[in-house]
Amino acid sequence: MDKAAGETIEKQQQGQQHTGDLMQSDERFRALVTATSDVVYRMSADWSVMHQLQGGGFLLDTGEPMSDWMEKYIHPQDQERVKAAIAEAIRTKSMYQLEHQVLKADGTQGWTFSRAVPIIDDNGKIIEWFGAANDVTARKHTENELHEAKDAAEQQNRLYETITSSTPDLVYVFDLDYRFTYANRALLNMWGKTWENAIGRNLLENGYEPWHAEMHEREIDYVVANRKPIRGEVSFPHATLGRRIYDYIFTPVINEHGEVEAVAGTTRDITEIRAAENTLAESEARFRTMAEGMNVYIAMSDETSNAIYFNQTWSKLTGRPTNELLAYGWSNLLHPDDRERHLKVYRTAFETQTPVHDSYRVLTKNGNYRWLLIDGSVRRYSDGSFAGYISAGVDITELKEDEQRKNDFISMVSHELKTPLTSALSYVQVSKKRTTENNDRLTAGMLDRTEKQLGKMTRMINGFLNVSRLESGKLQIDPQRFDMARLVKEVEEESLVSVTSHKVVFAPVEETWVNADQEKISHVIQNFISNAVKYSRPNSVINVACVTIDNHVQVSVSDEGIGINEEDLPRLFERYYRVKDTETRNIAGFGIGLYLCCEIIKRHRGNIWAESVVGKGSTFYFTLPVVK
Ligand code: ADP
């Protein structure tokens, strides 16, 4: 064997030796890879064919070359990524490496981390790829869960941030070493600090005064020890707002083992609330002092007409404590004769929401009655809506008694005057007759005037007697059916005789039947006419009419007299009310005529009123229901 041939043989032997080593190491390598990997695979140079795959239970095994491996093993979502990574590995002839989703042997989706190295021949050409892959499904799931949990935590954090940053209240959390682990925007702003230089620091480090820090630390201790919230109020100077008052609550944060792991707190600035409370308390105190200190009966009701307050003066009068007055129902203490009337006034007030003015008798603790004059004003809520009434009452019993005595006196005087007056009148009438017979015209004329004056006096005295009868409830109404046309005719005939100073014109009246006290209605018409005479120039015209409107007969008496002011109009029908001006000053009267007329018409369920133009004249009206 020549040297060259010998060398060749040696080379060949060496080559065989080399190939053997290589194969040996390749196998070892494969064994190692197989032992440490879940999957091993072999791919053609261009990855179009998979020669072999040992799936290790994770992926389906195959011994046959297959070209549709991509569809079989790679999750559709990741196929493009895998293709791209392969193309890159082929181009650079370097390791293929990718984490992607696969279709597992059991048909479910899984994750794998796959690597493949190119096997390259001496010419630098890729012969095939040898790959190994691991099942990373479990890790991937954990990672995903972690990711989701993190997302959720972040979302929750954002939520808390939003909530706590939009409240003016201070929100914070302490750890057990009294350090702030959370402070909301409002608190950071109050401190004038940023999150970074405030969180992780304790109270002192965040600028609290030692006494203040000490106080809160003891409170944190208490919350931790007792696992119970604690509430407090503290006042201290704010950097820009001056001295403020704060109300705070510390609450334990309990972990899953039932231990306190932190202390959460909220603080509210209550300076304004306190100030408002103080103002309210002050005005309340002032109101009470006034309500209790004076001898005035103060009461309040809400918008639903329930009594909500009685002052001590009420209790003293009735002998009942306030709560009993409210519960018992003050209305039961009203005099039976006043109760219904006053309750009507009271109810109407709530309907119309207008001021109340009324008087009534109240049962006292001594069992007798006292008169109270009550003025009720409307209360309103701050938005202007109706809130009920506040009423102030004064005791007018003495006044009422005086008035009663005065009435009794007038009644007695009138009564006593009536008898001599009647006899004087009859003497005058007899004397007049005799002097007329004796042709003593002068004396007859004087007696005639005396008779007229005595007649006037009788009417006045009758007026007073009627008032006192009315007031003591003795004014009787005797209704009977009669024709208004006939009554007006009678009045006309009478006035032809009695009124010579004015032209009284009666409009024609149709037959109209009413059920009324004829004498009293006649009295009302005569009163209207005599007023028209009194308050207008001699020779002026007075018109009397009687018409039917809406089932009511309406009588009117118009004059061309002095007229009445608008302010006086509604008061004309009050007892003793007289207009006070230069024109009426010298006209005699007591202000009881219209009062009596009004009471008479009211008792007939009719209406009475007046219309007037100052300087032009007045018209007085009344109506009565018509009967068939
Ligand atoms: P008196 O006439 O006695 O004063 P009245 O009760 O009849 O009492 O009238 C009350 C008041 O009404 C009178 O004082 C007068 O001022 C006014 N009054 C009544 N009738 C008329 C009228 N026709 N014209 C103007 N004023 C009148």
Segment 300-323 mean pLDDT: 91
Query: Rounded to 5 degrees, what are φ and ψ at 229?
Result: -70, 160
Q: What is the pLDDT of residue 580?
A: 86
Q: What is the pLDDT of residue 22?
A: 55
Tokens 């100077």 locate to 237
Q: How far apart are the C-alpha atoms of 331 and 328, rounded to whole Å?
A: 8
| Helical (H) or strand (E) element with 506 | strand 503-506
Assess whether pLDDT exceeds 70 at residue 415: yes
pLDDT digits (tens, 9 = 90+) for 87-98: 999 999 999 999
Assess whether pLDDT exceeds 60 at residue 7: no
* pLDDT class of 267 with cuts at 50, 70, 90: very high
More confident residue, 152 or 540: 540
Indicate if the alpha-carbon torsion angle 422, 425, 429, 430 is positive or negative. Answer: positive
Q: What is the pLDDT of residue 16?
A: 52
Q: What is the pLDDT of residue 239?
A: 66
* pLDDT class of 29 with cuts at 50, 70, 90: low
Q: How far apart are the C-alpha atoms of 530 and 499, rounded to whole Å?
A: 8
Identify which of 531, 558, 609 to mutate to test ligand 1's pocket (most ligand atoms within 8 A of the CB): 531
CA of 531 to the centre of ligand 1 (A): 6
Nearest to 172 by CA among 220, 137, 126, 211: 220
Instruction: Name the token pair of 610.
Output: 């007046």
Q: What is the pLDDT of residue 20?
A: 54
Identify which of 466, 560, 564 to mutate to test ligand 1's pocket (most ligand atoms within 8 A of the CB): 564
CA of 495 to the centre of ligand 1 (A): 19
| Helical (H) or strand (E) element with 203 | none
* Minimal-distance CA residue to ligand 1 atom 20: 531
Nearest to 248 by CA among 269, 227, 228: 269
| The residue type at 421 | L
* Minimal-distance CA residue to ligand 1 atom 7: 593
pLDDT digits (tens, 9 = 90+) for 124-170: 899 999 999 999 999 988 988 888 888 887 787 777 777 777 788 99
* pLDDT class of 270 with cuts at 50, 70, 90: very high
With vertex at residue 104, the alpha carbon angle to CA 101 and CA 109, rounded to the nearest 5 degrees, is 50
Q: What is the pLDDT of residue 21?
A: 59
* pLDDT class of 14 with cuts at 50, 70, 90: low
- Ligand 1 pocket by Cβ (under 6 Å): 531-532, 535, 559, 561-562, 564, 572, 577-579, 584, 589-595, 618
More confident residue, 5 or 426: 426
Assess whether pLDDT exceeds 60 at residue 515: yes
More confident residue, 249 or 464: 249
User: What percent helix, strand, coil does the chain show, rounded to 5?
Assistant: 45, 30, 25
CA of 88 to the centre of ligand 1 (A): 121
More confident residue, 168 or 36: 168
Q: What's the Cα-to-Cα distance from 253 to each of 41, 225, 226, rounded to whole Å?
A: 55, 12, 12
User: Across-strand partners of 558?
Assistant: 543, 619
Assess whether pLDDT exceeds 90 at residue 232: yes
Q: What is the pLDDT of residue 433?
A: 92
* pLDDT class of 6 with cuts at 50, 70, 90: very low
* pLDDT class of 26 with cuts at 50, 70, 90: low
Q: What is the pLDDT of residue 328?
A: 60
To the nearest whole percent, how much of the chain has pLDDT over 90? 65
Q: What is the pLDDT of residue 17?
A: 54
* pLDDT class of 412 with cuts at 50, 70, 90: confident
Identify which of 579, 583, 600 to mutate to test ligand 1's pocket (most ligand atoms within 8 A of the CB): 579
Segment 328-342 mean pLDDT: 88
Q: What is the pLDDT of residue 288?
A: 81
Where is average pLDDT lowest: 39-48, 56-65, 367-376? 56-65
Q: What is the pLDDT of residue 481?
A: 96
Q: What is the pLDDT of residue 338?
A: 93
Q: Are 618 and 611 in contact (CB under 8 A)?
A: yes
With vertex at residue 105, the alpha carbon angle to CA 103 and CA 107, rounded to the nearest 5 degrees, is 60
Q: What is the pLDDT of residue 287?
A: 82
Assess whether pLDDT exceeds 60 at residue 625: yes
Q: What is the pLDDT of residue 1?
A: 44
The pLDDT mean for the chain works out to: 89
* Minimal-distance CA residue to ligand 1 atom 2: 589
Q: What's the Cα-to-Cα distance from 363 to each of 97, 154, 338, rounded to whole Å?
A: 105, 74, 11
Where is average pLDDT lowest: 198-207, 352-361, 472-481? 472-481
